[in-house]
Amino acid sequence: MLKGFRQFLLRGNVIDLAVAVVIGGAFGAVVTALVKDLLTPLIAAVVGKPDFSDIMFTINGSKFLIGDFINALVAFVMISAAVYFFVVVPVNAVMARARRGQAPPDPTTRQCPECLSTIPIKARRCAYCTATVAAA
Protein backbone atom coordinates (compact mmCIF):
# COMPACT_ATOMS: atom_id res chain seq x y z
CA MET A 1 0.00 0.00 0.00
CA LEU A 2 2.78 2.45 0.85
CA LYS A 3 4.64 1.39 -2.29
CA GLY A 4 1.69 2.45 -4.43
CA PHE A 5 1.44 5.76 -2.57
CA ARG A 6 5.15 6.40 -3.11
CA GLN A 7 4.79 5.64 -6.84
CA PHE A 8 1.83 8.02 -7.00
CA LEU A 9 3.82 10.82 -5.36
CA LEU A 10 6.88 10.29 -7.51
CA ARG A 11 4.99 10.36 -10.78
CA GLY A 12 5.91 13.35 -12.90
CA ASN A 13 2.42 14.86 -12.99
CA VAL A 14 2.04 15.16 -9.21
CA ILE A 15 5.45 16.78 -8.75
CA ASP A 16 4.86 19.14 -11.69
CA LEU A 17 1.48 20.15 -10.29
CA ALA A 18 2.91 20.80 -6.83
CA VAL A 19 5.67 22.96 -8.29
CA ALA A 20 3.16 24.82 -10.47
CA VAL A 21 0.92 25.60 -7.48
CA VAL A 22 3.83 26.92 -5.40
CA ILE A 23 5.25 28.99 -8.24
CA GLY A 24 1.75 30.19 -9.18
CA GLY A 25 1.15 31.44 -5.65
CA ALA A 26 4.47 33.27 -5.57
CA PHE A 27 3.88 34.70 -9.04
CA GLY A 28 0.40 35.84 -8.02
CA ALA A 29 1.95 37.83 -5.18
CA VAL A 30 4.46 39.41 -7.57
CA VAL A 31 1.76 40.39 -10.08
CA THR A 32 -0.49 41.75 -7.31
CA ALA A 33 2.40 43.87 -5.99
CA LEU A 34 3.14 45.11 -9.52
CA VAL A 35 -0.45 46.22 -10.00
CA LYS A 36 -0.90 47.65 -6.48
CA ASP A 37 2.46 49.38 -6.13
CA LEU A 38 3.23 50.47 -9.70
CA LEU A 39 0.23 50.48 -12.02
CA THR A 40 -2.43 51.79 -9.61
CA PRO A 41 -0.33 54.83 -8.56
CA LEU A 42 0.32 55.47 -12.26
CA ILE A 43 -3.44 55.59 -12.84
CA ALA A 44 -3.79 57.88 -9.82
CA ALA A 45 -1.18 60.23 -11.29
CA VAL A 46 -3.06 60.42 -14.59
CA VAL A 47 -6.72 60.28 -13.49
CA GLY A 48 -6.60 61.61 -9.96
CA LYS A 49 -7.94 59.08 -7.47
CA PRO A 50 -7.54 55.33 -8.16
CA ASP A 51 -10.09 54.27 -5.52
CA PHE A 52 -13.75 54.13 -6.56
CA SER A 53 -15.09 52.53 -3.35
CA ASP A 54 -17.06 55.66 -2.38
CA ILE A 55 -19.41 55.26 -5.38
CA MET A 56 -22.71 53.66 -4.29
CA PHE A 57 -26.46 54.12 -4.35
CA THR A 58 -29.29 52.98 -2.09
CA ILE A 59 -32.67 51.50 -3.01
CA ASN A 60 -35.13 50.60 -0.22
CA GLY A 61 -32.34 50.57 2.34
CA SER A 62 -30.08 48.28 0.30
CA LYS A 63 -26.66 49.64 -0.59
CA PHE A 64 -25.31 48.90 -4.04
CA LEU A 65 -21.53 49.26 -3.86
CA ILE A 66 -20.77 49.96 -7.50
CA GLY A 67 -17.38 51.41 -6.55
CA ASP A 68 -16.14 48.12 -5.09
CA PHE A 69 -17.16 46.35 -8.28
CA ILE A 70 -15.34 48.97 -10.37
CA ASN A 71 -12.24 48.56 -8.18
CA ALA A 72 -12.33 44.78 -8.65
CA LEU A 73 -12.89 45.16 -12.40
CA VAL A 74 -10.00 47.63 -12.78
CA ALA A 75 -7.74 45.34 -10.71
CA PHE A 76 -8.69 42.35 -12.87
CA VAL A 77 -8.02 44.24 -16.11
CA MET A 78 -4.68 45.53 -14.83
CA ILE A 79 -3.59 42.10 -13.54
CA SER A 80 -4.61 40.50 -16.84
CA ALA A 81 -2.72 43.14 -18.82
CA ALA A 82 0.35 42.75 -16.59
CA VAL A 83 0.36 38.97 -17.02
CA TYR A 84 -0.13 39.28 -20.78
CA PHE A 85 2.48 41.95 -21.46
CA PHE A 86 5.09 40.88 -18.89
CA VAL A 87 4.74 37.08 -19.14
CA VAL A 88 2.84 35.81 -22.19
CA VAL A 89 4.38 38.10 -24.82
CA PRO A 90 8.01 37.56 -23.68
CA VAL A 91 7.54 33.78 -23.33
CA ASN A 92 5.98 33.59 -26.81
CA ALA A 93 8.91 35.59 -28.22
CA VAL A 94 11.43 33.27 -26.55
CA MET A 95 9.59 30.18 -27.79
CA ALA A 96 9.38 31.58 -31.35
CA ARG A 97 13.11 32.33 -31.25
CA ALA A 98 13.83 28.79 -30.03
CA ARG A 99 11.74 27.26 -32.84
CA ARG A 100 13.37 29.38 -35.55
CA GLY A 101 15.24 27.24 -38.04
CA GLN A 102 13.33 24.03 -37.27
CA ALA A 103 11.53 22.31 -40.11
CA PRO A 104 7.73 22.22 -39.76
CA PRO A 105 6.33 18.78 -38.87
CA ASP A 106 5.15 16.55 -41.68
CA PRO A 107 1.42 16.85 -42.29
CA THR A 108 -0.74 13.98 -41.06
CA THR A 109 -3.98 15.10 -42.71
CA ARG A 110 -5.19 16.59 -45.99
CA GLN A 111 -8.45 17.83 -47.47
CA CYS A 112 -10.88 15.77 -49.48
CA PRO A 113 -11.13 17.32 -52.97
CA GLU A 114 -14.89 16.69 -53.06
CA CYS A 115 -16.25 17.82 -49.68
CA LEU A 116 -13.17 19.63 -48.29
CA SER A 117 -13.30 17.69 -45.00
CA THR A 118 -10.09 16.75 -43.22
CA ILE A 119 -8.96 13.17 -43.82
CA PRO A 120 -5.81 11.22 -42.94
CA ILE A 121 -2.96 11.63 -45.41
CA LYS A 122 -2.93 7.88 -46.23
CA ALA A 123 -6.70 7.63 -46.81
CA ARG A 124 -7.90 6.31 -50.19
CA ARG A 125 -11.57 7.12 -49.56
CA CYS A 126 -13.17 10.03 -47.72
CA ALA A 127 -14.98 8.98 -44.55
CA TYR A 128 -17.53 11.78 -44.95
CA CYS A 129 -18.58 11.75 -48.59
CA THR A 130 -17.06 8.34 -49.55
CA ALA A 131 -15.36 9.83 -52.61
CA THR A 132 -12.31 7.99 -53.86
CA VAL A 133 -9.20 10.05 -53.15
CA ALA A 134 -5.90 9.74 -55.01
CA ALA A 135 -2.98 8.43 -52.97
CA ALA A 136 -0.79 11.09 -51.44
- What average pLDDT does the segment 98-111 reach? 83
Residue 59: what pLDDT?
92
Task: Give the list of residues 6+ apart from residue 125 with CB closer than 8 angstroms, or none.
Answer: 131, 132, 133
Tell me the CATH architecture of domain 2-99.
Orthogonal Bundle (1.10)
% of the chain with per-residue pLDDT over 70 = 93
Residue 90 reports pLDDT greater than 70: yes
- Is the pLDDT at 92 greater than 70? The verdict is yes
Domains of the chain, residue spans: 2-99, 105-136
Distance CA 72, CA 33 (A): 15
pLDDT tens by residue, 22-61 = 888 888 788 778 777 777 777 777 777 666 777 788 999 9
